[in-house]
Amino acid sequence: MRVRGGHEIDRRTPIRFTFDGRVIEGFQGDTVASALMAAGVRLVGRSFKYHRPRGLVTAGSDEPNALVTTGQGAEQRPNTRATMQEIWPGLEVQSQNRWPSLSIDAMAVNDLVSPFLGAGFYYKTFMWPRSFWEKVYEPAIRRAAGLGALSGDSAADRSERAFAHCDLLVIGAGPTGLMAALTAARAGADVILADENTRPGGRLLSERIEVGDEPGAEWAARAAAELAAMPNVRILSRTTVTGAYDGGTFGALERVALHAAPGAAPPECFWRIAARRAVLAAGALERSIAFPSNDRPGILMAGAARSYLHRWGVTPGKRVAIFGNNSDIYRTAKDLSAAGVEIAFVADTRPGESGKGDWPVFQDARVVATRGRRGLSGIKLDHSGGTAQLRADALLVAGGWNPAVHLTCHMNGRPVWDEAIAAFVPAPGAVPGLIAAGAAAGRFSTAACLADGVRAAGEALEELGYSLRGRPDLPEAEDAPYDITPLWTVKAPGRAWLDLQNDVTTKDVRQAAQENMTSVEHMKRYTTQGMATDQGKGSNVQALAVLADATGRGIAATGTTTFRPPYVPVPIGAMGAGARGEGFAPRRLSPTHAACVARGAPMIEAGLWMRPSYFPRDGERDWRESCDREVGHVRHAAGVADVSTLGKIDVQGPDAGRFLDFVYANGMSGLAPGRVRYGLMLREDGHVMDDGTAARLGDAHFLVSTTTAAAAQVMAHMEFVQQAYLPDLDVAFSSVTDAWAQFAVAGPRARDLLDRVLDRPVSWDGWPFMSCGDVSVGGVPGRLFRISFSGELGYEIAVPARYGGALFEALVARAEDMGGGAYGMEAMNVLRLEKGFLTHAEMHGRVTAFDIGLQGMLSAKKDFIGKGAAARPGLLDATRERLVGLRAVEPEDRIVAGAHLFGETGSEGYVTSAGFSPTLGGFIGLGFLRNGPERYGERLILKDRLRRIEAKVDVVAPGPFDPEGGRMRG
């Protein structure tokens, strides 16, 4: 089926690959689809429901039929579109959804019972008998579900992700996109030009069109070369923009090395592109006409046939028929005839229309039947002169073009119906900052596309403040009007197919309307129309027309289904590239990491951070001795701990106080500048989400601290509250966790230690408990907070992160001179247990403020997140498991986290945190116990059956050390 031409292929470089074990020969630049077509292979797959034979329909990413599996083992990739997969030596390709073979598929028996498997079959059949669902229906459906299959081998994590920023993102590199990119680039804007094909050009590569005085493909190559030479332009070929998101962010999938054997290069890259403005120049997608038996291999789109002809030098048949409702049928006939292909006939659905050519032309014609099981062999035609039985081995259908509006709908935009072109076009402003142009906006002539590219780029540049210098001249190009008389279906006996992959017919859509599924969304789900892997790109508008006819509403009133990202399927391995091991949960290192490791500290995970467990010294036999010593540093001298990993969120704006009032359960707007307040956050369901502090650094400036593990959760929560509940407040916030290194300095000699590092003496009497202010360390501006998580006189000093390592070394060295030193997570845990302070071991997601004894913090004077839910009677029941302290009765007894507390009625609570207190001389802990605070003084049995631990414990108030807080506040 090779003919002359084909500028995509290099005939000097033959390539062999296999399809279902058969060796296929092609050339460098061929896709699997073009090579199979050249080899005369028409049967490429089976439909999902009835397993009907399927052939190629399109030449691009909208292909519904030709889904194949490539590779073996860990490199196996199912559901690959043959139209997009380039061939390489040794490529192994397998057809899908068939058994035992593609030509003989046992599941084709489904087609014989198709009258019983129409629209709504699942809903009606699997409801009864009810007991059959789990044991019969669901297992059978699961076995039948799916198209391609994974090998089961663990795939290498070789894809990658990338981030890019630009002034203008141009989506599509056809004539519109090239002109838009040239206009913006010459004006000095940073441009990204993304196109899913191997090289720029779009439809210019698929047509015999001249631009200026040269072939369109050559003009496109010259324009692309100019762009590639510009330092402010990035061209992303083989890249499909898959989704439009908030803030000018776009997702894009680049096929980096799928056109070659697996090697060092990543197969795919998923881009996140932040664009100040974007131009949608994605072109249009050709649609078919639904007529009886329109799904046979050998029936494909006329525009696709021209692509195969001009790009790869192949034709779908030796004797080709053409059927359509617009002038593309004559363009197709001329191009194929010029390549030496026999034109069996041209069937024009329009009365009185006629195109010149050396072939039979039938006006007012309809294809009413076709012949051939595994490939088209004959066509029955009704026309103005009667009926004809004609022979052809390929039928090319031109039903019109649908602008590729999908990206404009990804933020709930709805396209609008344009009667002049019988298609939906993008609604203006559907995606902020995105301008549709060219064929994507319903302008189909080449001249109109070129001009519209300049227009769209000019609008974007004006909004960005660029002056339009070096505007490219518009070359001459064809400007023929788009002449179409819509025909959606042919009324004749037999099944007329819409969604070829899911086997949806026009009858199914009409049946959905008869059964009151008149909403387009209901019809979609009832029939599965548009729910295949192509998302109905070539069939949705036809189905809407059928539904509109069945309901009498018209297409505009019927509307479209919701187009959602991604525009093309994105492998999870590409979208989550690098998200394995530390890529999934990155190891975050604090500014003191190297210093802690140098001191021999074992580093442990806390949230996503690595923090020191303890700091061993010579002669210490185990971690307990180190931990006990470090607790003593804080209780008797001065200890230093790195608390840089605590979440820090900078909140600014005139309404910052009001915003924090709504986020926190207690009030924050009344906090005076220079003061700090402990705060409690609830979730919407009334349960505790996090605690922390809010420091007021200025009238409109707060710094919020969170626990290490909940920093991201709190940030996301605040963003949600602002967007969903308080969008009118003048407030902005940003995470500054990584920007500041912060150290706790705690103990009786904490002030002496700070005096040795601060540039200027501090009047400690004027620095009361829960205050904050600016300080200077070695000429570096910093902040000092008087807060304590140890129960001792304590401060936290913060400096920009790059100075954190040096400050830590200075603080620890001076602390050691005083008989103190650094302390790690183990000592920090013991210190907070001695004071009864909480962490997420206690705030584990199932507790309320009432459960942890902080119900007094729930303000009655204002509203806040979770207020109503927290007041539900069930969450205030005194018999709930509530916070208590625990002390071991015998010195040798251990308290361990996770153990259960047994009383007279059995298990009545559990332990959340525990540790040995050198200060109190025994094990202590925190836990939750039914009627907890009412049971102080009781003695219970602690049991951990997994570790075979049993001990007697006394129930006490949390925080047995210095319960009055004199040491902390003194």
- pLDDT top residue among 866 and 138: 866
State residue 597's pLDDT score. 97
Strands (E), 92-141: 92-95
Neighbours of 163 (CB within 10 A): 9
Residues 359-405 pLDDT 10s: 999 999 999 999 998 899 999 999 988 999 999 999 999 999 999 99
pLDDT (mean) for 464-490: 89
Range with lowest mean pLDDT among 84-93, 136-145, 146-155: 136-145
Digit-coded pLDDT (tens) for 158-196 = 899 999 999 999 999 999 999 999 999 999 999 999 999
- Report strand pairing: 497-499 vs 210-211: unpaired
Signed CA dihedral, 617, 619, 624, 629: sign only:
negative
Cis peptide before 100 (omega within 30 of 0): yes
The edge-to-edge listing of strands for the beta sheet with 609-612 is 588-589, 609-612, 603-606
Q: What is the mean pLDDT of residues 468-483?
A: 86
Q: Please, are residues 347 and 359 in contact by the beta-carbon 8 Å criterion? A: no
Residues 555-577: pLDDT tens digits? 999 989 888 999 999 998 898 88
**How far is Cα 953 from Cα 938, in angstroms, rounded to an integer?**
8
Give the pairing of strands 268-280 and 434-436: parallel
pLDDT of residue 107: 85
Strands 53-54 and 434-436: unpaired
| Buried b / exposed e along 475-510 (16+ C-beta atoms within 10 A) | bebeeeebebebbbbbeeeebbbbbbbbbbbbbbbb
Helix (H, G, I), strand (E, B) or coil at 709: coil
- Which residues have a Cβ under 8 Å from the Cβ of 362 and sit 6 or more positions away? 345, 346, 347, 348, 381, 383, 384, 385, 388
Check whether 139 has a pLDDT greater than 90.
no
Q: How far apart are CA 266 and CA 255, in angstroms?
A: 9
Tell whether the model's pLDDT for residue 155 goes beyond 80.
Answer: no
Domains of the chain and any CATH numbers: 160-285+403-464 (3.50.50.60), 878-969 (2.40.30.110)
| pLDDT tens digits, 786-842 | 999 999 999 999 999 999 999 999 999 999 999 999 999 999 999 999 999 999 999
Please, are residues 477 and 452 in contact by the beta-carbon 8 Å criterion?
no
- Find all residues with CB under 8 Å of 548, minimum gap 6, and list them: 554, 555, 557, 558
Percent of the chain past pLDDT 70, that is, above it, reads 100
* Upstream peptide bond of 316 is cis (omega within 30 degrees of 0): no
Structure confidence at residue 790 (pLDDT): 95
pLDDT > 80? residue 728:
yes
* Span 332-365, pLDDT tens digits: 999 999 999 999 999 999 988 766 778 999 999 9
**pLDDT tens profile 226-284:** 999 999 999 999 999 999 999 999 999 999 999 999 888 899 999 999 999 999 999 99
Stretch 505-524: mean pLDDT, rounded?
A: 93
Judged against a pLDDT cut of 80, whether residue 113 lies above it is answered with no
Identify how many contiguous H helices and E strands the chain contains and give both numbers. Answer: 23, 50
Burial of 219 (0-12, 13-18, 19+ CB in 10 A): buried
Q: Give the per-residue pLDDT at 500.
A: 93
The pLDDT assigned to 470 comes to 67
3-state secondary structure 359-413: CCEECCCEEEEEECCCCCCEEEEEECCEEEEEECCEEEEECCEEECCHHHHCCCC
Q: Read off the pLDDT of each residue in 916-942 and give the average, rounded to a whole number.
A: 96
In 3D space, the residue among 283, 233, 213, 332 whose CA is nearest the CA of residue 448 turns out to be 283
pLDDT for 471 beyond 80: no
Structure tokens belonging to residue 41: 């292979």
DSSP structural state of residue 16: E
Average pLDDT over residues 852-877: 96
